[in-house]
Amino acid sequence: MDFAISNLALKHLVEEMQFFVNGFVNKVQTSEDGLLKMKIHTKAGDKTIIITKNAFFLSQKSVPAKQNPGGFSAFLKKFLFNQRIISITQKGLDRIVLLEFPDVILVLELFAKGNIILIDRENKILKAMRKEKWKDRTLAIGEIYVFPSSKGINPLDAKEKDFLKDLKSNKKTFFGGVVELLNVSPGLVEFVFDKNKLDKQMIASKVNAKDAKTVLKELQKIYSKKSKDAFVSNKVIYSVDIGKEKEQVFASVGDAVYQLEESKEEKVIKPKKKKTKEIDWDAETKKCEQQEIEFKEQGEYVYLKYNQIKEILDAVKKGESKGLCEKEIIKKINSVQPVIKELNFKDKKIKINI
């Protein structure tokens, strides 16, 4: 099954993988199913790490590689062969992991479709697995690598006074404000609210200091915990007990990722054609704003789709305000990323592929 990984579980996964530090890269290859694999010589012998679109794991079996794949893996091999891994770190609580080598850094962007970027010590991009472009950053050879914006403050860095002040000026509910302000998993926030019998629908601006402090302290306590095992609930991997139903339990986060990836390979799935969605942009924007939290709870990667839709809708509105016609707006947006299939001002409808 497709699954997401909470940012705390990713933090624990990085901690589990510290035995790779001081290991030397022996091979860089592309697996038969298109994933990047690296064979690393460690004190415990040769180990293979597999990088997926939203995680990475230690493979417990031999993984066949493509014959003469060339491309990205061949490029990485030129820089990484026989190089020592100095460190493996997570950028704050973002879904970004950095593998540091003496001369270069391998950046794993473990969200949306996933990407892998090799940068030098001056943060210049040497090559990206997939070229991508947004309004605030570009992943292409020669560009300076810019991290994507964090989805809030690390709760371990948050101060009580500032947190309360930000909640008071937030226009969402108490629950929604916490998720927006802090870089935390919605499932963990829900656990804290239920445990302390707090009103999720209370307007954030009306929250008192006691309740705000309770939420922040509880989240800081959770994000300071060490992982003992891992479990899956509603297609999300968690690494601390938060009262959710444990649909599957694993010895570690790494084992969870490995077992779930293996179960995906065992199933033969026919590729599905992309579905075209028809959206009334005024209604959809309001709906997205109201359901932002629900989308994140269903699978945190779904939240990224919300941002993508909202960005497209904002670009369309901006073009309309400048007096551009439908064809001009489609041409302009699709020149960056071909997403709009049809645009109709009269009916206020747009068809996009996401």
Q: Looking at residue 330, what is its pLDDT?
A: 87
> Is residue 39 in a domain?
yes
Residues 247 and 309 in one domain: no
> Is residue 293 in a domain?
yes
Residue type, 18: Q
Does the pLDDT value for residue 244 go beyond 70? yes
Does the pLDDT value for residue 160 go beyond 80? yes
From the list 47, 107, 11, 77, the residue with the least C-alpha distance to 99 is 107
- Per-residue pLDDT tens over the stretch 98-139: 999 999 999 999 998 899 999 999 999 999 999 999 989 999
Q: Looking at residue 263, what is its pLDDT?
A: 82
Query: At which residue do the structure tokens 């935390």 appear?
Result: 184
Domains in the chain: how many in total?
Answer: 4
Report CA Rg, the chain.
22
Residues 281 and 323 in one domain: yes
* Number of separate helices (H) and strands (E) present in the chain: 10, 18
From the list 7, 39, 22, 40, the residue with the least C-alpha distance to 84 is 22
Rounded CA separation 247/74 (Å) = 39
Higher pLDDT among residues 180 and 279, named by residue: 180
Residues 42 and 112 in one domain: yes
DSSP, res 283: H
SS3 category, 322: coil
> Is residue 53 in a domain?
yes
Residues 33 and 122 in one domain: yes
Query: At which residue do the structure tokens 């491309």 appear?
Result: 71
Burial (CB count <10 Å: 0-12, 13-18, 19+), residue 207: buried
> Is residue 12 in a domain?
no
Domain containing residue 173: CATH number: 1.10.8
Residues 132 and 178 in one domain: no
Residues 334 and 303 in one domain: yes
Q: Confirm if 108 and 102 have CB atoms less than 8 A apart.
A: no
Helix ranges (H only) for the chain are 7-16, 71-80, 160-168, 174-181, 186-195, 209-223, 253-266, 281-298, 300-321, 326-334
Domain C-terminal end among 213, 245, 266: 266
Residue 312: CB atoms within 10 A of its CB come to 19
How much of the chain is in helix, strand and coil states, percent to nearest 5?
A: 40, 25, 40
Structural domain that includes position 315: 277-352
- Residue 268's pLDDT band, with cuts at 50, 70 and 90, is very low
Residues 219 and 296 in one domain: no
Structure-token pair, residue 60: 């417990």
Mean pLDDT for the chain overall: 87
Does the pLDDT value for residue 264 go beyond 90? no
> Is residue 145 in a domain?
no
Q: Looking at residue 49, what is its pLDDT?
A: 94
Residues 249 and 205 in one domain: no
Rounded CA separation 59/31 (Å) = 12
Residue 39: CB atoms within 10 A of its CB come to 18
Rounded CA separation 354/338 (Å) = 10
- Residue 151's pLDDT band, with cuts at 50, 70 and 90, is confident
Residues 218 and 256 in one domain: no
Domain containing residue 120: CATH number: 2.30.310.10
> Is residue 40 in a domain?
yes
First to last CA, the chain: 20
Residues 117 and 51 in one domain: yes
Give the residue-averaged pLDDT of 194-208: 95
Residues 215 and 173 in one domain: yes
Q: Looking at residue 62, what is its pLDDT?
A: 79
Does the pLDDT value for residue 299 go beyond 60? no
Higher pLDDT among residues 85 and 347, named by residue: 85
Phi, psi values for residue 143, rounded to 5°: -75, 155
Residues 69 and 132 in one domain: yes
> Is residue 255 in a domain?
yes
Rounded CA separation 93/84 (Å) = 25
> Is residue 47 in a domain?
yes
Rounded CA separation 141/133 (Å) = 12
Higher pLDDT among residues 264 and 133, named by residue: 133
